[in-house]
Structure 1
Amino acid sequence: MWFVQQLLLAFLFFFFLGRYLKMRWKARRLPPGPSPFPLIGNLWTMRFNMHPETFSKISKHFGNIYTVWLGETPLIVLHGYKAVKNAIVSHSEEMSGRPASNFMTDIANGRGIVVSNGHSWKQQRRFGLMTLRNLGLGKRGVESRIQEEAQSLVENLAAQNGKSIDASDLIIHSVANVISAVVFGHRFSIDDPTFQKLVAINQNLIDSLGSKWGNLYDAFPWLMKRLPGPHQNTFKNREFMYDFVRSEIRIHQENEPPEEPDDIIYHYLAQIAKTRDDPGSTFDIANLLQVVVDLFTAGTETTATTLQWAILLMLAHPDIQEKIHKELDEVLLDSSAITYEDRKRLPYTNAVIHEIQRFGNIASVGTLRRNIKDIILDGYPIEKDTNILPNLDSVLHDPQYWETPYKFNPKHFLDKNGNFKSNEAFIPFSAGHRICLGEQLARFELVIFFITLMRKFSFQLPEGVTEVNTKHVTKVTLQPPPYKVCIIQR
């Protein structure tokens, strides 16, 4: 028995030693980084999460390009604007891949726009860009739909009569209705239980991506596919979303399409019919399902979370809120609906909107890339199919480009004369070939929703509350902590 135990210990020792040496051999040409443990890599050091603060601490020791290990898979992390720009802009085409297998990729079955690769990704993305652009035109264009939802949100908030509330659900449902109109062609009642479940499941899916289980899946996809755990519920939730979208597709197929398609599904069904005889076409129902889910998921989360940050930051900075009200009262003299162009007449308010995006930084560290060709980054040869993380948080807090990177400061976007000024390190939607598909839609929404709300309301702390917590909660996005607000009509 003693001999068997010793033999087993010796086997385990040499097994782990062998795995460790294999990782060290693989790391010999990679950028430096913290020493990994056998099998788990740096997951223990990272506390099984990809927190911006953790990456920032590592960069202080290893510089602006370094390697961490997710299990036995190396991940090259790029820190700061120069390192990120050199990769995703200067090597835009080479950096356009997604990991072949991780949690996000497997949830989407490698389809759609966000996680697909190669020819399929190029076709789906080109379709998405063209269709969103087309849907922005005409009387029933995207801007008018945003204006309607912004007004609906105003009415729902005004009905609360200034009492202390958590406004997050009302905001999320309003924003979800914008993207619903874009992809499904219609909005939903916020009291619709099926719509409420769709929104809740969408939020759960997003939260799961940034969970410890999600990070374990990224490190050990071959194992986690087979193990029970909360991550398996995400695949069940995905099926609910697929069933919901299938139902919407059937309704579109049963109805006569309009002369000019007015939503994503009609456009996509027309594209399927148009390319049916093309052997190189990737347009099919499976991709349509995922394209719709991609757009709904990203289109709801980004704007809704940013607007929640906006209200929280107005509570924390009543002086800034007062300056916005003053500018709006002086410039917007009539009662017409807010348009995207109005931002040009409102330099201070525009600067605040940009600073909300920078400070709130919902993208957190961003999404993994994969280089589809061999490249050289900062002198290091990076072999094809290496996972790379352009850390967006480090860009939006880079002290070389932001005067007070960890303080909310609209002056980051104002010149000495009070005019709006841009900043090259402002890339909340990423950059390069994988820049967020819905960037323009999100910009329209933020301007119209935020200015409409600020024009109608004053945001105040509930009675007895004297301090505002603006420390983010890290999930797959950086979310504001839960809070309550009194929304007073002006």
Structure 2
Amino acid sequence: MKYLPGLHQWTLANMKMALSFAKEEIQKHKENQDLHDPQDFIDYYLLQMEKSKGDPNSTFSEDNLAQCIIELFIAGTETTSSSLQWALLLMVAHPDIQERVYKEMEDVLGSSHSVSYQDRKKMPYTNAVIHEAQRVKYILPVGIPRRCAKELHILGYHIPKKTIVVTDLNSVLCDPKQWETPNEFNPNHFLDKEGKFITREEFLPFGAGARVCMGEQMARMELFLFFTHLMRTFRFQLPEGVKELNQDPVVGLSMHPHPYKLCAIPRSSL
């Protein structure tokens, strides 16, 4: 593909730049490495490389380490930031829901208590809003590809061993048989009649099974803490003269929103 013209060349150039950055970081770690006091992922990986010297079956290498660093950035940072971008866009598009989130936080936390991840249990509506934003604006075009470890027969289909399987999680997250309004932003999907938060088996933005996203808990914490602190500190609205925002996704490695502007008004000034 690197010899063919097209938009993919932009992606390949960005990947080359990212790998170059990762390799520079690896070199810095090697120059300042203390084998007796590893400080981060790169240090521990380099330590394991040192221990694996002479092992012909070892997969530890600097090229592999650089690729791991890129994957951590993409899977652990870009996905969460895209989800937050969608959440803010949806709050601007639904000011009534935004105000209800703020009111719940004020009622539960008061004016002095800082937000912690444990507070989500006391704020069912806010928790439902975050879950619904992840559902209706799922940030991946498809699920992460997997390879069958053994021959499998499922629902009348034969899947040979080593077959690569790509799941369409959107088909579950927007299944009209499971969700009352599958294509609309509706936090009530995660609330019962009494307003209590309910866990939905069909909520699969992190995948499922043994290969579920290993960063799920970190992502959940980040989304909740960033979102609640932003909602508690600012009221978000469209800039003057702007009537609506484009809610169609930009298709890429992740499905992020089109660039947009919004106004963040400090709550203390309202």
Please, what TM-score do these two structures have when normalized by structure 2? 0.90
Structure having the higher Rg: 1
1: distance between equivalents of 2:70 and 2:130? 27
Please list the CA deviations of residues 369-401 of structure 1 after superposition, one character each: whole Å capped at 9, or x if unmatched.
332432112112122343322101111001222
Contact 1:365-1:394 within 8 A present in 2 as well? no
Q: Which amino acid is 2:141 matched to?
A: S
Q: Which amino acid is 1:420 matched to?
A: F
Quick one: higher RCO (CA 8 Å, sep 6+), 1 or 2?
Answer: 1
Of the three residues 223, 229, 238, the one matched with 1:446 is: 223
Shift of 1:303: 0.7
Over 3 Å counting, the alpha-carbon distance change for 1:397 and 1:440 in structure 2 is same
2:108 aligned partner? 331
1:26 aligned partner? none
Shift of 1:410: 0.7
1:319 aligned partner? 96
2: distance between equivalents of 1:275 and 1:403? 54
Shift of 1:341: 1.8
SS in 1 for 2:265: strand
- Structure with more of its chain in helix, by fraction: 1
2:238 aligned partner? 461
Q: State yes or no: 1:360 paired with 2:159.
A: no
Question: Following superposition of structure 1 onto structure 2, how do residues 221-370 of structure 1 map, counting pairs within 5 Å?
Answer: 224=1, 226-257=3-34, 261-333=38-110, 335=112, 337-370=114-147
Please provide the CA RMSD for this pair: 2.1
Percentage identity across paired residues of the two chains: 53
Q: Provide the aligned length of Structure 1 versus Structure 2.
A: 267
Contact 2:136-2:184 within 8 A present in 1 as well? yes
Question: Following superposition of structure 1 onto structure 2, how do residues 350-429 of structure 1 map, counting pairs within 5 Å?
Answer: 350-429=127-206
Shift of 1:292: 0.5
Contact 2:235-2:266 within 8 A present in 1 as well? yes
Please, what TM-score do these two structures have when normalized by structure 1? 0.51
SS in 2 for 1:390: coil
Contact 1:261-1:267 within 8 A present in 2 as well? yes
Contact 2:33-2:43 within 8 A present in 1 as well? no
Contact 1:362-1:478 within 8 A present in 2 as well? yes
SS in 2 for 1:487: strand
Question: Following superposition of structure 1 onto structure 2, how do residues 67-216 of structure 1 map, counting pairs within 5 Å?
Answer: none
1: distance between equivalents of 2:137 and 2:178? 17
1: distance between equivalents of 2:6 and 2:93? 39
1: distance between equivalents of 2:111 and 2:81? 27
2: distance between equivalents of 1:425 and 1:468? 28
Over 3 Å counting, the alpha-carbon distance change for 1:257 and 1:400 in structure 2 is farther
Shift of 1:334: 5.2
SS in 2 for 1:288: helix
1: distance between equivalents of 2:14 and 2:215? 23
